[in-house]
Amino acid sequence: MTAESGGEPGQVRLAIDGHVAIVTLDRPAKLNALTAGMTAQLAAHVAAVNADDSVRAVVLTGTGRAFCAGSDIAGLGEYSTPWEFGLREDYGDLLRGLRKPVIAAVNGHALGGGLELALACDIRVAAENATFAAPEIKLGWIGGSGQSALLAHSVGLSNAAMMLLTGDPIDAATALRWGLVSEVVPAEVLAPRARALAEVIASRAPVAAQTAKLNLRAAYEMPLTRAIDYERHLQTICFATSDADEGRAAFTERRAPVFRGR
């Protein structure tokens, strides 16, 4: 069954089919640049997906020739003070609040905040025509949703500096070589490839998948000894679930496991 909301242009659409949710940025005339209203829709979709136990994996993508061009620049002038701008709802934070694994299907330009959205996802798959850039420096500011830290983790300090200090784009082949994306595929293959990857993740034990995501993010911020200790505690929690019992039983009985997220 498919559930959709927000079908008009300038919307963030949510479709749920089986165990996979597809979130689509739909404002192609403006390269899917996000307005405050679209950010509010994204917040509602994140809350809905987190609350829906049937959803086990998420795909984020865009319509037209862009994944996302970040914030709508015209709308940034609506904030009365820099303080008000700094306190606005941040779409990168929203996406990082998704407990389910998220795949970015980067179908075109991922610019500024769009790059930050892609970096907020757990896995990034790109079309051959995709480009990535941090162009804020050309406008007099820098990214504000973890752009520097996440880029440095993904592509290394020198490559991150190249992007952040020039603002110039890199193509999909370079993004793959630098480790910014996991795969590059022809544009016509991107959507089914991302969906197939989401289906694989959705077939795994949901508690274990969400725990693996949590553990991976935490490992970024911890010294090695603490990270290993934290992982062991999370492993113990997973081991106590019914899904872990089912996994062991299925292995013994040589059948496919049926995970229920418990």
Per-residue pLDDT of the chain (262 residues; tens, 9 = 90+): 334 444 445 899 999 999 999 999 999 999 999 998 999 999 999 999 999 999 999 999 999 999 999 888 666 656 567 766 665 678 899 999 999 999 999 999 999 999 999 999 999 999 999 999 999 999 998 988 889 999 999 999 999 999 999 999 999 999 999 999 999 999 999 999 999 999 999 999 999 999 999 999 999 889 999 999 999 999 999 999 999 999 999 999 999 999 998 9
Burial letters 100-124, b for 16+ CB under 10 A, else e: bbbbbbbbbbbbbbbbbbbbbbbbb
| Helix, strand or coil, per DSSP, at residue 185 | strand
Predicted local confidence at residue 144, as pLDDT:
85
- CB under 8 Å to 227, separation ≥6 — which residues? 218, 219
Q: Which two tokens stand for residue 102?
A: 């998220």
For the chain, state the CA radius of gyration. 19
Strand bridging mode 57-62 / 66-68:
unpaired
What is the number of other CB atoms lying within 10 angstroms of the CB of residue 158? 9
DSSP string, 108-135: SEEETHHHHHHHHSSEEEEETT-EEE-G
Residue position matching structure tokens 């790109």: 126
Burial letters 48-78, b for 16+ CB under 10 A, else e: ebeeeeebbbbbbbbbbebbbbbbbeeeeee
| Helix, strand or coil, per DSSP, at residue 83 | helix
Q: Which two tokens stand for residue 246?
A: 């089912």
Q: φ and ψ at 57, to 5 degrees?
A: -155, 155
Predicted local confidence at residue 89, as pLDDT:
74
| Dist CA 253 CA 249 (whole Å) | 6
HSE-up of residue 148 (Cα within 13 Å, Cβ side): 9
Predicted local confidence at residue 1, as pLDDT:
35
Write out the catalytic residue numbers.
Answer: 116, 136
Q: Which domains does the chain have, with CATH numbers?
A: 2-202 (3.90.226.10), 206-253 (1.10.12)
| Dist CA 15 CA 61 (whole Å) | 12
| Dist CA 1 CA 18 (whole Å) | 6
Predicted local confidence at residue 71, as pLDDT:
85
CB 68 within 8 A of CB 124: no
Predicted local confidence at residue 220, as pLDDT:
87
